[in-house]
């Protein structure tokens, strides 16, 4: 990779790591548009660029969430019993989504799906509305069913799952700061299973560049993880000091711009 590509990936890694710790998100959605630019610059096949960007972004969440988990755990904010209850479903859903559904989507539809996902997330951030507690947590079967759905959906967009797990936990009377912190713990099984699914489902794909493990581009993972593991704890620390609601609105505006980029990528892939 060129030095400019490495610099862009490391800058994005530092930002995504900080936001992962601050807002409880995985950071993958921020990385994807920029990795598409880097991969285009390197001349990768258009057939796999979007798949590689999403899969590589998900792989970096393994490192980012590990760092964020440790920071939140030190403050006793993570509900490990809840994380353990949701994880089996998350793993099953992420593994199936990453290995079976993800590769079946072509670049145009995957780009469009990702853009719609970013729009949804940006609206969540801009409105900053929390669902009113409506019930207690369901039983084991209910948690497994929700986890499977959340894992499969997360694997298709390269997300750590906070966009759906946090609202669910808030609806089930989990305290907001516990829900945000626990979403980091839930991001790890999603990322691990989805990454394994991506690699298995794309193993031996003919259009992958050297340095790839299936759809996961290892040099990019190294560049991003090298900085995100340091900025994620900083974000977790600052979450107790900054006006997170205002930061969410700023982040929401930024996501709208990234969504416009992804809609344009989808338009080009569809041939319009």
Q: Per residue in 79-128, pLDDT tens?
A: 999 999 999 999 999 999 999 888 888 888 888 888 888 888 788 778 87
Say if CB 46 and CB 107 are below 8 A apart: yes
Place of tokens 């996961």: 216
Residues 133-154 have pLDDT tens digits of 667 788 889 999 999 999 998 8
Residue (of 149, 153, 183) closest to 166 by Cα position: 183
Tokens of 103: 């590769």
- Most confident among 16-30, 163-177, 185-199 (mean pLDDT): 185-199
200 versus 261: the higher-pLDDT residue is 200
What pLDDT is attached to residue 88? 96
Q: How far apart are CA 21 and CA 27, in angstroms?
A: 9
pTM of the model: 0.85
CB atoms within 10 A of CB 250: 11
Helix (H, G, I), strand (E, B) or coil at 213: strand
Instruction: Report the 10 Å Cβ neighbour count for 154.
Output: 32
What would the mean pLDDT of 178-188 be, rounded to a whole number? Answer: 87
The label of the residue with tokens 């084991």 reads 140
Residue (of 55, 53, 10) closest to 265 by Cα position: 53
């Amino acid at each position: 990779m060129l030095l400019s590509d490495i610099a862009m990936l490391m800058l994005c890694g530092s930002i995504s790591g900080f936001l992962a710790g601050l807002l409880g998100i995985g950071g993958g959605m921020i990385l994807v548009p920029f990795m598409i630019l880097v991969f285009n610059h390197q001349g990768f096949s258009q057939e796999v660029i979007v798949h590689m960007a999403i899969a590589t972004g998900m792989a970096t969440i393994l490192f980012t969430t590990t760092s964020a988990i440790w920071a939140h755990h030190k403050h006793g904010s993570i509900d490990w019993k809840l994380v353990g209850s949701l994880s089996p479903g998350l793993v099953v859903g992420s593994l199936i989504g990453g290995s079976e559904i993800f590769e079946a989507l072509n670049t145009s539809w995957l780009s469009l799906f990702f853009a719609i996902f970013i729009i949804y997330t940006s609206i969540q951030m801009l409105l900053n509305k929390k669902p009113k507690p409506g019930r207690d947590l369901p039983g084991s079967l209910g948690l497994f069913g929700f986890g499977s759905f959340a894992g499969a959906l997360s694997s298709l967009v390269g997300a750590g799952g906070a966009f759906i797990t946090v609202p669910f936990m808030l609806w089930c009377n989990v305290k907001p700061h516990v829900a945000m912190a626990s979403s980091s713990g839930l991001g790890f099984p999603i990322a691990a299973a989805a990454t394994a699914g991506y690699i298995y489902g794309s193993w031996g794909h003919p259009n992958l560049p050297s340095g790839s493990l299936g759809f996961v581009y290892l040099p990019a993972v190294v560049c991003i993880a090298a900085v995100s593991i340091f900025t994620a704890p900083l974000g977790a620390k600052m979450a107790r000091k900054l006006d997170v609601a205002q930061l969410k609105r700023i982040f929401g505006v930024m996501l709208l711009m990234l969504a416009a980029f992804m809609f344009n990528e989808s338009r080009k892939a569809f041939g319009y």
